[in-house]
Amino acid sequence: MDPLPALLMEVGSHQVEVAETLIGVGRFLVIFVAARAMAELMVRLQLPTILGELVAGVLIGASGLHLVLPPEAQTQLSSAVLGLVGSLADVTPDTVASIYRETFPSLEAVSQIGLFALLFLTGLESELDELVAVGVQASTVAFTGVVLPFALGTAGLYFIFHVPLIPAVFAGAAMTATSIGITASVFGELQWLKRKEGQIVIGAAVLDDILGIVILAVVVSLAGGGAFTIGPILKLCAAALVFVAAALFLSRTAAPGFDWVVDRLKAPGDVAVASFVVLTLSCFAAQAIGLEAALGAFAAGLILSASKHTHDIDTAVKPLVALFATVFFVLIGTGMDLSVLNPFDPANREGLIVAVFLLVVAVAGKVAAGWCYTSKEPTNRLVVGLGMMPRGEVGLIFLGLGTQAGILTPALEAAILLMVIGTTFLAPILLRVVIGTKQAPVPQPS
């Protein structure tokens, strides 16, 4: 039986509506206040604000005050929150906890809008000719950044730590990810998105996502006891190629049609609504053929990058990114359980040793990818490597799937989580250190 109808029968619809409203408004209030406070601190420390949003998530999440928790977190909401909302809505704390779990997907949906808007903006601000020009370099970086961590991680776990083959393969696969959302946010904030290094990293991160989907499909099949079949893998590869080719074709041809439609719209918000129609169609198309919707969001921005309304689109979308992408990054932090870092707990020690190994391989594998491409022009290869480093939400998705499949030991779960946390937090800091505070002038389009 669905929990919410049962609650309606027990406590009445009005109390449930009051509790839902208090929970929904309260979550956003806590998220935005914490994120803005930490972002302000990061600005004063000359660090990317995304780091502040991640820290804010840690502070209010599973490792901190327990004010905002993903349902899958192995912990309970703050008793003070349960009691306060329960007393205001005239329901029991258990009812509040049940309503919280049932309504959490709506918060996740908001965070997904933020991710899609961020990737859309990244595609919009990408120079298509520059992106195509670095296609070979991006492919090399992506391929190296997938193969090295996967091979070294899997082999090390299997031969050195004697982890069974399937869990070792799964952990190695989790190390192949690159969080394009975190990468795009950091490069945009540091004003390196339009530089050659930024274009290589964004292109490689997109390809990383495609390769990650293929690897994930194989690993999940193996973890579920299914037989390895080449057919579905080839279909995924073909779908990815078709999608990328279609996006590149439309980026050359579809912008005039979009402009024609927008020029005939008169109602307020015409540019924003028309842009989001393209965004949703592209996300739908990507998901429909078995790819990640996030790739569709980036492709939508790329398609409209040649529009004459680019400036208006940028102006309309940036406030949405500021609001909703903040929710996305904070939620990543809320799911991070830093209690696994405690070396005084004997249960953590095995995971910490494995985690150090995974973190070293995860960093070295991606940084090495920055030296695996050729370029006639001088580029900062360390920036490219560091830009590929954060695993972020993609690594957490891998971890979640491994946990659900029951193939990871607690120690290996902790090790993968620490690898994700380490790369996610280190990347923005190291990029700021390497790039420095002096920004090179960004070439303006003619």
The 3-state secondary structure of 368-394, one letter per residue: HHCCCCCCCCCCCHHHHHHHCCCCHHH
Query: What is the pLDDT at residue 12?
Result: 64
Q: What is the mean pLDDT of the chain?
A: 83
**Confidence check: pLDDT of 5 > 70:** no
Q: Where are the beta strands (DSSP E) in 113-205?
A: none
Q: What is the pLDDT of residue 442?
A: 46
According to the model, what pLDDT value does residue 397 have?
67
Q: For residues 46-50, give the mean pLDDT.
A: 76
225: left (phi over 0), alpha (psi -120 to 50) or beta: left
- Whether the predicted pLDDT of 443 surpasses 50: no
pLDDT for the residue numbered 446: 38
In angstroms, the Cα distances linking 9 to 6, 15, 237, 439, 443 are: 5, 11, 50, 61, 63
Tokens matching residue 135: 């296609």
- Which pLDDT score is estimated for 148? 94
Closest Cα partner for 95 from 80, 82, 104, 108?
Answer: 82
CA nearest neighbour of 336 among 35, 149, 72: 72
CA 321, CA 318: separation in Å to the nearest integer? 5
Strand locations in 293-391 (E):
none
- Give the pLDDT of residue 343: 82
Q: What does DSSP assign to residue 305?
A: G
Give counts: helices (H), strands (E), the chain: 20, 0
Residue 427 has pLDDT above 50, yes or no: yes
Q: Distance between CA atoms of 203 and 132, rounded to whole angstroms?
A: 9
Kindly list the structural domains of the chain, giving each domain's residue range(s) and its CATH number in brackets, ordered by start.
Answer: 3-108 (no CATH), 110-435 (1.20.1530.20)
How far is 428 from 437, CA to CA, in rounded Å? 13
For residue 345, give the amino acid letter: D
What letter would DSSP give residue 139?
H
**3-7, 154-158, 269-273: range with lowest mean pLDDT:** 3-7
Cα Rg for the chain, rounded, in angstroms?
22
pLDDT at 232: 72
Residue type, 223: A
Q: Evaluate if residue 438 carries a pLDDT over 50.
A: no
Q: Which of 436, 335, 430 is nearest to 54 (CA)?
A: 335
Q: Return the H-helix or E-strand segment holding 152.
A: helix 135-155
Q: What would the pLDDT profile of 70-128 be if each residue is shown by its tens digit? A: 887 767 889 999 999 989 888 888 888 888 988 899 998 998 898 889 889 888 877 77
Neighbours of 330 (CB within 10 A): 30
What band does 6 get if pLDDT is binned at 50, 70 and 90?
A: low
pLDDT of residue 225: 59
Average pLDDT over residues 412-417: 84
Contact 190, 119 (CB under 8 A): no
- What are the distances in angstroms from CA 209 to CA 141, 143, 325, 391, 434? 13, 11, 19, 11, 25
- pLDDT score for 401: 67
Q: Which two tokens stand for residue 276?
A: 């989001």
DSSP 341: G
CA 69 to chain centre: 17
DSSP assignments along 277-326, one per residue = HHHHHHHHHHHHTTS-HHHHHHHHHHHGGG-TTHHHHHHHHHHHIIIIIH
Structural contact between residues 16 and 91, judged by C-beta atoms closer than 8 angstroms:
yes
Across the range 355-383, mean pLDDT stands at 91
Q: What is the pLDDT of residue 265?
A: 85
pTM: 0.76
DSSP state of 441: P
305 pLDDT more than 80? yes
Q: Is the pLDDT of residue 382 over 80?
A: yes
Q: Is 108 left (phi over 0), alpha (psi -120 to 50) or beta?
A: alpha
Within 10 Å of residue 165's Cβ, how many Cβ atoms? 11
